[in-house]
Each structure stands twice: as structure tokens, then as C-alpha cells.
């Protein structure tokens, strides 16, 4: 006996979108959706890569990196689709998604275009969010261990000169990474990188002696704090660029190296303060 199966008639569903303008809007929306997914992948991969201590850039630098990643993600979604947007477009319109011609995007062009946005956006964020993002930079484990070897000397110097030990550690980590033999091209020496004139002024006879060097550097920090009415940011800027420049500009001098240095030290202060708590 031969069985005959009933024939099932499938009903063809009409495309939900037929207007060309609507199709173009749909295509852009789906590409943006795919860009969000690609950006998430980029951010996830970045978190798995250890940051270089010298790369800290603070809040503005991280915001620029996020903007850069999103622009790259949009470029990928438009020029080399992962297929997510295309499948959704076909389901809604019944057609293949039109190919998009995308001009090559250069990193420098993206950075230049987004710099003003990054600067303008920062003041609009909640204070708590800004502070949290600014605390992202921390010294590496090796630097923390190197600085930690001098805890006893640091605590003695902090008590003697009335300077917070976290600030002393932050300056050591930023100046010499805890290396007592560090010697810069500017002839700064030792843990807190004293130049000869500063060492003489604070009474350091042997800059290569960690105890003398840390005590001398801390004494100098105390003088700078007194000069700028306890303003830690200006004292730190003065330690790097000299108090005359800070006085001249009535604030942190517009020197990229000094501005980066101040951000880094203050972020390290937050980190070392957290260790004490």
C-alpha cells in the first residue's frame, strides 16, 4: 500500500520594508548594531592585554582609545561585515544588503576628528565616574615590589617631614621605578631622581644612599607643599618642572611631560592610599 503525504502550502511573507529610503535607514541601523558588537569584542580583547605603566594617559587618553575603537568597529561593520546585519536585512526586506563602499580610515584622521569631542564630553560626566576612570592607572607589580623594599625608610621620612607616605611612594614609582641606581640623561640620580643642586640644597651628601636620597626628596616635597599652600598637584608639578614654571603659569605648566607626570603621580597616590586602607 502506498502512502501519499499531504502537500503543505507555505505562505510567502511579504517583506516588511519596501521603501528605498527605509531600506537605507535599516542598513545603517544594522551596521551600527554590528559595530557595537565588534566594539565589545575589541574592548574585551584590550582588557586581556596588560597595560604598560608608561602608557597611562589618564581619563582623556582612555576616552580617546574608546572612541578610536568604536570608529574602527564602524569601519569593520561597513567594509567587512560579520554577516549579522546582512542576515537581518535579508529577513526584513527579502533582499541582499547592498555593498557599501568605504574609504580607508587612517588612525590619525580619527583621532583628530574625535579630540574635540573627548575634551567637550569630560565635564558632562558625573564626578564619581570621572574619578573612578582617573584611578585606572596603577604601578606594575615589579615597581610596587621595588618601592616596597624601602617602606621603613619611606615611613620614617613621612613622619619626619610631615608628607603622606603614599605621595612619597608615588613619586619614587614615577621617578625611578624603585631603582636606587637610576641615573637620567638630565643627571638626576637615585630613587627620587635628585639633581646635584637639589641634593645640595636639602643636605644630601650621597645621592646613591637610598635613605639619604628618599629623605632629601621628601624634604624637598615638603618645601614645595609649603610653597603652594599644601596643593599636592602644584607641588608634584614643581617637583618635575620646577617651582618657577608653576609660579609663572599659576598652575600646572602647559608642558606635555609635566602634565602626564602629574596625572601619573596622582593616580599612583590613589593606588598606594588604597593599599594602606
pLDDT single digits (tens) 98-122: 766 544 444 444 444 444 343 343 3
More confidently predicted of 230 and 274: 230
| d(C-alpha 209, C-alpha 203), whole Å | 13
Supply φ then ψ for residue 183, to 5 degrees. -140, 110
Nearest to 85 by CA among 43, 23, 41, 42: 23
The residue from 66, 175, 257, 277 that is catalytic is 175
Sign for the CA dihedral angle at 205, 206, 209, 214 comes to positive
User: pTM score, two decimals?
Assistant: 0.53
- Where along the chain do the CATH 1.10.530.10 domains lie? 141-276
- 3-state DSSP assignment of residue 165: helix
Q: How many CB atoms lie within 10 A of CB 53?
A: 17
Active site residue 175: yes
Tell me how far apart the alpha carbons of residues 200 and 22 are, in angstroms, rounded to a whole number.
Answer: 75
**What does the alpha-carbon distance between residue 48 and residue 44 come to, in Å, rounded to a whole number?**
7
* Calpha distance 206→215 (Å, rounded): 11
4-62 pLDDT per residue, tens: 545 545 455 555 666 777 777 777 777 777 777 777 776 676 665 544 444 444 444 45
Contact 256, 237 (CB under 8 A): no
CATH of region 141-276: 1.10.530.10
The gap between the terminal CA atoms of the chain, to the nearest Å, is 86
Amino acid at each position: 500500500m502506498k502512502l501519499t503525504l499531504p502537500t503543505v502550502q507555505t505562505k510567502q511573507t511579504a517583506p516588511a520594508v519596501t521603501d528605498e529610503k527605509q531600506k537605507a535607514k535599516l542598513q545603517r541601523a544594522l551596521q551600527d548594531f554590528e559595530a557595537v558588537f565588534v566594539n565589545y569584542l575589541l574592548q574585551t580583547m584590550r582588557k586581556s592585554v596588560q597595560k604598560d605603566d608608561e602608557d597611562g594617559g589618564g581619563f582623556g587618553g582612555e576616552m580617546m582609545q574608546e572612541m578610536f575603537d568604536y570608529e574602527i568597529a564602524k569601519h569593520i561593520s561597513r567594509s567587512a561585515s560579520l554577516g549579522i546585519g546582512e542576515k537581518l536585512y535579508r529577513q526584513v526586506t527579502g533582499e541582499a544588503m547592498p555593498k557599501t563602499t568605504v574609504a580607508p580610515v587612517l588612525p590619525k584622521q580619527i583621532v583628530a576628528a574625535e579630540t574635540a569631542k573627548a575634551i567637550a564630553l569630560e565635564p558632562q560626566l558625573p564626578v564619581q565616574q570621572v574619578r573612578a576612570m582617573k584611578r585606572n592607572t596603577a604601578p606594575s607589580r615589579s615597581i610596587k615590589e621595588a618601592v616596597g623594599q624601602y617602606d621603613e625608610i619611606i615611613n620614617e621620612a613621612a613622619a619626619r617631614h610631615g608628607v603622606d607616605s603614599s605621595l612619597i611612594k608615588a613619586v619614587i614609582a614615577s621617578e625611578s621605578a624603585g631603582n636606587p641606581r637610576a641615573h637620567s640623561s638630565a643627571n638626576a640620580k637615585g630613587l627620587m631622581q635628585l639633581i646635584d643642586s637639589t641634593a645640595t640644597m636639602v643636605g644630601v651628601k650621597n645621592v646613591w644612599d637610598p635613605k639619604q636620597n628618599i629623605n632629601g626628596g621628601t624634604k624637598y616635597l615638603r618645601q614645595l607643599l609649603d610653597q603652594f599652600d599644601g596643593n599636592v598637584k602644584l607641588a608634584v608639578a614643581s617637583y618635575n618642572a620646577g617651582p618657577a614654571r608653576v609660579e609663572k603659569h599659576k598652575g600646572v605648566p602647559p608642558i606635555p611631560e609635566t602634565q602626564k607626570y602629574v596625572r601619573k603621580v596622582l593616580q599612583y597616590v590613589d593606588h598606594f592610599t588604597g593599599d594602606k586602607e
